[in-house]
Every structure is written in C-alpha cells, then in structure tokens.
A and B are shown apart, each in its own frame.
Chain A
C-alpha cells in the first residue's frame, strides 16, 4: 500500500496551483485533506503524475457571512465548519450534514472543497449543496466562474470541474425565516457513508399547508437525486404521517435502480430512501411549525 511515483508541488496561492495544474503534461491531482485521495494513491487506484498540495494555500480557509449567504473557503476543514457558531446559527442544515461526515479525526483533515470535488454518491456534502442551492466558485486558467450545485455533480465521482480548475469557495444561503429543515441518514455505523439519506427543506403557508418542499436523496444514485414527484405531492398538502408516508413511497418509486452492495441491495436502499424521506419530512415540518410559532 504505497503510491506509485509522482511529482509533488505545494503552491501557496490559487494562481500558482492553477498554473501547476495547467502546466502538467500528464495527469495532475489536487490534494486537499487527503482523506479520499491518500487511500486511492496508496491502493494505486489513482496514479497522477503530479500532486498539487493545496495545504499551504492559506487564503482558502475561512467562513464568512455576506449578503445573506455563508461563504466557505474550499480548504476549510469540516471540523471548522462543525465548530462554527456562525454555521450552527445561520445554516443549521449545513451543521447537521457536517457532523454526519465520518469521524472527528477525518473531519479534522477533510475539507469542504475535497468533499465536493470527490463527489461520492453517498456523501453528505453534495446532497447538502444541492438542497441548499449552493453556488460553487471555481478558478481556472481562464479566470473565475461559478457553478450551480445541481450542475456541479455530473455522475459517480465526477464533477463539472475542468482538469486545471480549482474549487475555491462554496456559498450557501442562510436559513430562510420560517423554513424547516432536516438532514437524516442511515449508515451501518456512526460515521460511515450513508446507505441512504435525505436532506429536506419545507415551509408552511399561512393556512398550515406545506410549501416549497425540497427533497434531496443521497446514497441511492450516481449523484444527489431530487424526487420531484414526491416534492409536488407534499406541496399544498396538510402535513401529517400519511402525507410523509405517501411522499416516502413516491420518492422511493422515483429513484432509478439504486446501488447494490454487500450492505444493502438495490431494493433495500430504495426502501430506506423512502423511510428517510418520511422521517425527514416529519422533522422538517416540525421545525417549520416551530419557526412559525417563534416568528
């Protein structure tokens, strides 16, 4: 379990990183926290010619609030996000997603940008990003661009990033007043990648009906999945166990053939996704109701 030979550079700015990437003849890889990349290197499943270590690009480590959005630097560790009072108070769904990622040791090193760029289908962050309609800021040889979360995740472990691009920041809107949210998952053990999970946001209208329901499933498809039929089934309806159950059933029917592995068959995953939707909706509606009461 030792990596194949590679060149290594450790730039201190994003610009240097981009030029290292674009100057590489063969395959270049960015290294962030290394919690996904290092095992891949050690198992020789990834064999880049060049590793560009972002660890010394200090400017990418921050959490700020501006214009109703949280801006988080790509090299911010998940542990920093977890411990941020700003995140906990302004976007609790992000906090909830963060503490479900792996274990403290891994959150210490693993970064926000790394989890996005890794695009693991069972990871929490991509689902969180889609649920919150996050915007991803990217710098490449031709300058900066921004990508919508829903467009960022292309398929299994594949994003819209071009080979010489660096993800620099993720922006998520703060929690809207009156909005209810939930982030639920089932994993074999605490800290494992999820067998299935759901991020849910919902509000209640003046009449107490569900509105603006957004459901994002993870662990059940190549990228985060939005069961739009289930969302529609919820909107305009009175909340209640029957509704959640029905939405759950709809959501699990909407999924294409989910993954099948030693821990869960496709059928079981499909079922679990429905359970997560049901539970997530119940939790999100309860929060929305409480938020309305507070207002």
Chain B
C-alpha cells in the first residue's frame, strides 16, 4: 500500500495546528531534570560484574607475554580475558575501507596508546582496577609512526603489517574539466591548511552491560548506543553469531556527537560475561579512557587547496588535496568523515568543477571516530578561507563575494559537481538577514576605527551547507554498502483511543520523542500528553538506524506520518461501513472522521478505535481490525553512486550564514568574540525550540574546535591531552552570546518540508571564526592556517609580522 506523506504543514489533517511547528517544550526534560531517566550506569542487574580494562602504555609494541595468574587469584575477581580469548572467540572489527580492523584486545601487538591488552570482571569496579595492577605484560617496543607523511614513506614501520602499506585509501575524484578551469582562470589562489585532531565529548561517556547466555548463546547488550541496529549487526559479525541472537537495547544517553563508539569495551564485556558463565558484565568508560582510547577523536587533516576565479569574481573551480590521519585502524569509521564532503563539496556556491585528492593514512594514534558534522566542518573551514583569500585578492567585500557565487534561488533542485542534489534554498535572503542583524556596515566602520588605534579586530562572514538525511550511498567511495537508511515507527491506538508509538532509537538529546508526540497529536487531534512513545530493543523494533547524519527528525517524521496515514485509511473504511457510505467520502479532520457534506455525521478517533477492537460484529469483513500500523520510511529517489562517487546522497541541504566579530589581544594572542550572529535555513522548523538548542550547542562546539580544542600527541604518539585540563572544551564563559534569525525554505522532497538540522552550526562556525581571525590579521600580512587558532599560535604569527 503506497501512502502519501504530508509534504507541507498545511497538509496535516487539522484546521488549527497546536504542536507541530510550534515552540514546544521537550517532554523528555522533566525526567532528565529530576534525575529519573535511566542511563546505562543506573542499570543494576542481579549478579552483575564490573569490568576494567588494562591498556597499552606504548603506541607500538609487540605483546610478548601477558601474565594474569596473580590477578585471577584476587578476591572478587571472576574472569580475566586477554588477546588469546579475543583470537579464539571473536573476529577483527569490520571497517571501511575493508580490512583495517583488529581484534578488540590486542593479540600480538599494540598499535596505539590505550589499546586494550587484558580485562577483568570483578564484583566491583574497585576490585577490577586493583586486579589490573597485578597483570604483568611484557612489551617489546617497536618503532612508532606518529605522522601521516612519514607513514607514507617506503621505510615507515607498518601499523597493520598484513596490509603492506599504511595508506588506507588513495583516490582522486575529478568532477568536470578541472585542469582547464585552473588554466583559464584569471586568478588562482592556493593555500595549505592544518586541522588538528578534535572530537566529540558528550557529557556521558560510553557504557554497556553485556550478557552472554551460555545455554541459548543469546547475547544481550544494553548500552548508551547511538545506533542499536547497526551496533547489533556489528556484534553479530564480531562473534560470528546469527543476527537474531543479538539483542541490543539502547539506553537514553547523555549525548553522542559521534563519540559513542564503545565497540571494543562492549566486545570485551561480552567475552567476560561468556567466561563468567553468563553473569552480566558492566563496563563504564571513564573520562580518561574516553579521551585516550574512546570515540573521542576525529579529523586530523592536512590540506592543500586552490580555487580558480574569473575576472568577475566568480569561482570557476575548486581543487582540494587532503591527507587525513585516521590513526591505527579503520574501526571508528573515520574514513566516512573524509567521504562526506562529497555531499556538499562546493558549499553554497555555483562552482562548476572540482577535484578531491584524498589520502587516508594509518598511524599509531587512536583510531578516528565520527564527530558532529562528520567531515564537512574542516572542508568548509578550508573553502571559506579560500573564499576570503580570493575576495581580498580581488578587493571585493567578502559578503559580496559570496553573494556573487551563491546558487540562486531559482536554480533548485541543484546538482553540485560531486553529484549530490540540493533540494532548495534562499541563500541571498539568509545572507541579507544575517548582515542586517549583525549591523554589518556599522561593524566594518567600527573595525576601521579600531584599526586606526592599532587594535586587531576582524569580521568573518561565512556560509556553509549542512547535508541532511544521510544515505549509505554517500559513503560508497570508502567501501560502505547499500542505498537507503530505513527508519520505522509503529503507531497503535488502544480501545479507549489512547495512542502509543513504538520506535527503535533511544533518547539522545535532540527531542525526537517530543517530535513524535507533536506529530501524532496534531494528526489525530489529541493532546500531546495523550501520546506515549516507547522504545523497543532491536529484536522487537521496526527497522531503525536512529540518530545520525542529521536524519532522524526528517526520517521519524516520515515514519510516524506514514503509520498515521495507514491507520487513517483503515479507520476511514470502518467509519464508512458504519455510516453506510464509501471510504472515499470519509475525511479525517481535527480528530473526527466525518462524512463529506454531511455535517454532524462524525465519529471520534476513540469511537472508531473502540469499534475496531471491541465490536468485531460491526466491522467490514476485509478490514484488518487493528487500529495500528507500522511505516518504514526511507529517502525517495536514492541510487548507488557512480564510479566518481556521484550520487543523490543526502536528501536535504540546509544553509547558514554566520557573522562573527573578533578582537585579538596583540600581547597574548587571545581571541575574544564580541559579535556572533547566525541566520540559518533548515526548511520547516518542526519544533523551533529544538532547532535553536541544536544551533546553540553546535556553535559552542564550533567555537571549541576553532579556538580551544586539540588532541596533541608527541613524536612517540603519546597522547599529551588526557584530561579536561589539557583538552579544552569551551564553557559558558567562552561561548559567545549569539543572536539568531531564521529563513524558512521548505524542502520539496521531505515530510512537512523539514530539513536535517541536528549537526547544524558546526558546519559554519569554525569557518566563520577563522574568517574573522584572518580578517583581523590582514593589516599584519599574516594568515592563520591552523585550527585551533590557539593563543600560542596567534602570538607567534603576530610576533613574526612585527619583527
């Protein structure tokens, strides 16, 4: 049965929308604020054990011998596992690109600091950690490779010997006649950029409770897991179990942002449970484990990039060469981050041709993970610096330069050279509103006056695209399979008309349970509180990927509305029978099924549901008597990528312009943000309160990566930033107060016209802050090419300029 999902807010069967599109307070919050949400560390199961993991202090070493005898004899210790157990019971992690995975516990050698070498399950975490101190490991240190350029040399030590190289992937994508564009250009600008390792830092680290039933061989994993179904498939592959033997229940979690990797710890806890005769084993990753060896790190990038510009200030080509240091293995899906820029390679601009020279390299650092935005944020940092460099070269105002190159509103849907199609946009309007709110002309006057006084003041105007609703086809180039990412929901109305929605994803902080309630409440004309949202585990839930790739808001809207539509059809048939007319004459509006043109002839939703469940005698013979339906939504019109990686991948393209004002202290190199303005367009805003929350958090993370955050390693690949004293996340004191305004250009392709907006501002913020920093540095004749623009770096630049 094909269902028609409402494409516009006006298509909802209500004459007065009360919830969807309104500023609705999140229903998740009361439990969160009163401490009643059950996070994974709150879970206590009978006979549960606690896991602690022994980790390598070396970045590269042979594991000669692991002696666990003393640890095993300690009171409270129930099970100990080592690399031998991993070899016996598990397979190496599945990776993209393929074949760059290792076992969850290092068997023959360790490849990064923090890699597990053994683990203990004991009756308390204290005892487990005591036991770790009694395990002796003989290491034979090997030469370390901490630099991707060194790793590419013939003489470099190999991180994974069997591969015969440290290069995980080397490809050049050419979209159009790039060489000609550069040869014909009036101006070409080329720069080198460095984006240092940063990454996700959710409030809650990863945790899991694993149970391996020794009789049935069922594996049950509870955890703070972002994508339960994906995670379940991974565990099945790791342990060679049938996928229906693995049940994953994701718990509400304290954010993810890509950092909820946790596969190694989970697999270790699973093996400990197996050894402990099936007792549940809890592993809670502590913050140091997270920072050194968790899902904490992403985007360790070296860029050389060029743009070609014609005499009128139109960009005619983009050429980006990227060397991305993915660390020791491919297990964290860091490669995906390097592929995702294909979905928005040329940003919001009409750049007709482009080239991407991509090299992914293994070193002895922590395997890279995803981070909010998944890879375009560094790409846009590079693109936007080049846009500014070109604007300065041509003596055009940076805002005007962008306007000249924006994709005009009348050219959507618009296909970019790297193959993705942007659904809609009003880029100039977004720019105008941002400039207006910022008082751009006045800002420039203030800047000129400040410069007269010798102050270092800059203004950044940057724009970026947020690809929304990811599709696996976007990652075909790094070896991911498949097209489409299904998300399902089951909507059920009970005999009294109360509505329950069953979904397969856990609360992660983006307010989707609220969104589900909003949708159903407006669809059936009930109060939001009458809608209950229930989460199912992977063995019960409809197909679900969950949050990720700015998709869930759109996808769950499609799933829920699809299920509602299916129920409506059934109910129309029942009502028609009772009203003795044809289903086509029945209409749902404001919670009532009415006969068209017969005022007063109506039944409420509870009446119809009650009839369906308690008066089978009144039902038409061919109608499924359940006021319940499941709908599984996936983005329409997707197809596999071609050989140059081109595909309609991400369904939506949100756009934003940020205007930032900074002042740099010439004596210390410190940056102060004195102005921060956001204008964004993510289509229909299903719950503006949530969109704004996502924006503010994402700006905060963007400021973090632009100015503060950096995972530092020394030449021996020893991590130097292992606590929050050294890895600096901006606090409320550092994140600027921001002014926000929005433009709404609905997507023609999505349920209700909404676009992905969860990753949001981090696409634009680092670029915009760095544009402002570099604008400030113009009179000094220096360029900040490295992110973060930490004071030590800016001080050096300023000093060099003045010497």
A residues whose Cβ falls under 8 Å from a Cβ of B = 1-5, 43-44, 103, 186, 188-193, 261-265, 268, 271-272, 275
Task: Give the chain A neighbours of B734 by CB distance below 8 A.
Answer: 189-190
> Do residues A2 and B126 form an inter-chain contact, with CB atoms below 8 A?
yes
Q: How many angstroms between the C-alpha atoms of A14 and B151 in the bound complex? A: 60
B residues whose Cβ falls under 8 Å from a Cβ of A = 125-126, 129-130, 133, 286-288, 667-668, 670, 708, 710, 712, 720-721, 725-726, 728, 730-731, 733-734, 790-792, 795-796
Shortest Cβ distance from B207 into chain A, in angstroms?
13
Shortest Cβ distance from A54 into chain B, in angstroms?
24
A191-B129 contact in complex given A1-B288, A262-B726, C-beta closer than 8 Å = no
> Do residues B287 and A264 form an inter-chain contact, with CB atoms below 8 A?
no
Q: How many angstroms between the C-alpha atoms of A168 and B658 in the bound complex? A: 54
Task: Give the chain B neighbours of A272 by CB distance below 8 A.
Answer: 668
Cβ-neighbour of B670 out of A3, A186, A265 (below 8 A): A186
> For residue B669, which residue of chain A has the nearest CB?
A268
> Do residues B795 and A268 form an inter-chain contact, with CB atoms below 8 A?
yes
Cβ-neighbour of B728 out of A3, A44, A189, A261 (below 8 A): A189
Q: How many angstroms between the C-alpha atoms of A245 and B727 in the bound complex? A: 33
Task: Give the chain A neighbours of B670 by CB distance below 8 A.
Answer: 186
> Do residues A189 and B720 form an inter-chain contact, with CB atoms below 8 A?
no
> Do residues B712 and A191 form an inter-chain contact, with CB atoms below 8 A?
no
> For residue B727, which residue of chain A has the nearest CB?
A262
> Do residues A186 and B668 form an inter-chain contact, with CB atoms below 8 A?
yes
Task: Give the chain B neighbours of A193 by CB distance below 8 A.
Answer: 725
> For residue A265, which residue of chain B has the nearest CB?
B792
Q: How many angstroms between the C-alpha atoms of A268 and B710 in the bound complex? A: 18
Q: How many angstroms between the C-alpha atoms of A43 and B725 in the bound complex? A: 14
Q: How many angstroms between the C-alpha atoms of A264 and B668 in the bound complex? A: 11
Task: Give the chain B neighbours of A268 by CB distance below 8 A.
Answer: 792, 795-796
> Do residues A5 and B130 form an inter-chain contact, with CB atoms below 8 A?
yes
Cβ-neighbour of B733 out of A1, A190, A275 (below 8 A): A190
> Do residues B792 and A263 form an inter-chain contact, with CB atoms below 8 A?
yes
A275-B125 contact in complex given A4-B130, A190-B733, A190-B734, C-beta closer than 8 Å = no
> Do residues A275 and B726 form an inter-chain contact, with CB atoms below 8 A?
no
> Do residues A275 and B668 form an inter-chain contact, with CB atoms below 8 A?
yes
Task: Give the chain B neighbours of A43 by CB distance below 8 A.
Answer: 288
> Do residues B728 and A191 form an inter-chain contact, with CB atoms below 8 A?
no
Q: How many angstroms between the C-alpha atoms of A262 and B792 in the bound complex? A: 9
A190-B288 contact in complex given A2-B125, A263-B792, C-beta closer than 8 Å = no
Shortest Cβ distance from A248 into chain B, in angstroms?
9
Q: List 26 A-B contacts (CB under 8 A).
A: A2-B125, A2-B129, A4-B130, A4-B133, A43-B288, A44-B129, A103-B731, A186-B668, A186-B670, A186-B791, A188-B708, A188-B791, A189-B708, A189-B728, A189-B733, A189-B734, A191-B733, A192-B728, A261-B726, A262-B710, A262-B712, A263-B726, A263-B791, A265-B792, A268-B792, A268-B796
> Do residues A1 and B668 form an inter-chain contact, with CB atoms below 8 A?
no
Q: How many angstroms between the C-alpha atoms of A103 and B796 in the bound complex? A: 30
Task: Give the chain B neighbours of A1 by CB distance below 8 A.
Answer: 129, 286-288
> Do residues B731 and A190 form an inter-chain contact, with CB atoms below 8 A?
yes
> Do residues B795 and A271 form an inter-chain contact, with CB atoms below 8 A?
yes
A189-B731 contact in complex given A268-B792, A272-B668, C-beta closer than 8 Å = yes
Task: Give the chain A neighbours of B130 by CB distance below 8 A.
Answer: 4-5
> For residue A4, which residue of chain B has the nearest CB?
B130
Task: Give the chain B neighbours of A192 by CB distance below 8 A.
Answer: 725, 728
Shortest Cβ distance from A27 into chain B, in angstroms?
17
Shortest Cβ distance from B61 into chain A, in angstroms?
22
> For residue A195, which residue of chain B has the nearest CB?
B791
A275-B790 contact in complex given A2-B126, A191-B733, A193-B725, C-beta closer than 8 Å = no
> Do residues A189 and B730 form an inter-chain contact, with CB atoms below 8 A?
yes
> Do residues B731 and A191 form an inter-chain contact, with CB atoms below 8 A?
yes
Shortest Cβ distance from B51 into chain A, in angstroms?
12
Shortest Cβ distance from A292 into chain B, in angstroms?
28
Task: Give the chain B neighbours of A188 by CB distance below 8 A.
Answer: 708, 728, 790-791
Task: Give the chain A neighbours of B796 by CB distance below 8 A.
Answer: 268
> For residue B50, which residue of chain A has the nearest CB?
A2
Q: How many angstroms between the C-alpha atoms of A5 and B74 in the bound complex? A: 14
Task: Give the chain A neighbours of B287 by CB distance below 8 A.
Answer: 1
Q: How many angstroms between the C-alpha atoms of A189 and B733 in the bound complex? A: 8
Most buried by B among A43, A193, A262, A268: A262
Task: Give the chain A neighbours of B129 by CB distance below 8 A.
Answer: 1-2, 44
Q: How many angstroms between the C-alpha atoms of A265 and B712 in the bound complex? A: 14
Shortest Cβ distance from A200 into chain B, in angstroms?
16
> Do residues A263 and B790 form an inter-chain contact, with CB atoms below 8 A?
yes
Q: How many angstroms between the C-alpha atoms of A188 and B792 in the bound complex? A: 10
> For residue B52, which residue of chain A has the nearest CB?
A2
Task: Give the chain B neighbours of A3 by CB distance below 8 A.
Answer: 126
Q: How many angstroms between the C-alpha atoms of A93 and B287 in the bound complex? A: 36
Q: How many angstroms between the C-alpha atoms of A268 and B728 in the bound complex? A: 19
Task: Give the chain A neighbours of B712 by CB distance below 8 A.
Answer: 262
Task: Give the chain A neighbours of B710 by CB distance below 8 A.
Answer: 262
Task: Give the chain A neighbours of B791 by CB distance below 8 A.
Answer: 186, 188, 263-264
Task: Give the chain A neighbours of B733 by CB distance below 8 A.
Answer: 189-191
Q: How many angstroms between the C-alpha atoms of A44 and B791 in the bound complex? A: 32
Q: How many angstroms between the C-alpha atoms of A262 and B197 in the bound complex? A: 14
Q: How many angstroms between the C-alpha atoms of A44 and B726 in the bound complex? A: 19
Shortest Cβ distance from B167 into chain A, in angstroms?
29
> Do residues A275 and B731 form an inter-chain contact, with CB atoms below 8 A?
no
Shortest Cβ distance from A100 into chain B, in angstroms?
12
Shortest Cβ distance from B481 into chain A, in angstroms?
39
Task: Give the chain B neighbours of A4 by CB distance below 8 A.
Answer: 130, 133
Additional A-B contacts beyond A186-B668, A263-B726 (14; CB < 8 A):
A1-B286, A1-B287, A2-B129, A4-B130, A44-B129, A103-B731, A188-B728, A189-B734, A190-B731, A191-B731, A262-B726, A263-B791, A264-B792, A271-B795
Q: How many angstroms between the C-alpha atoms of A262 and B196 in the bound complex? A: 13
- Nearest first, the 7 A-B pairs at minimum CB distance are A190-B733, A1-B286, A275-B667, A2-B126, A262-B712, A2-B129, A262-B720
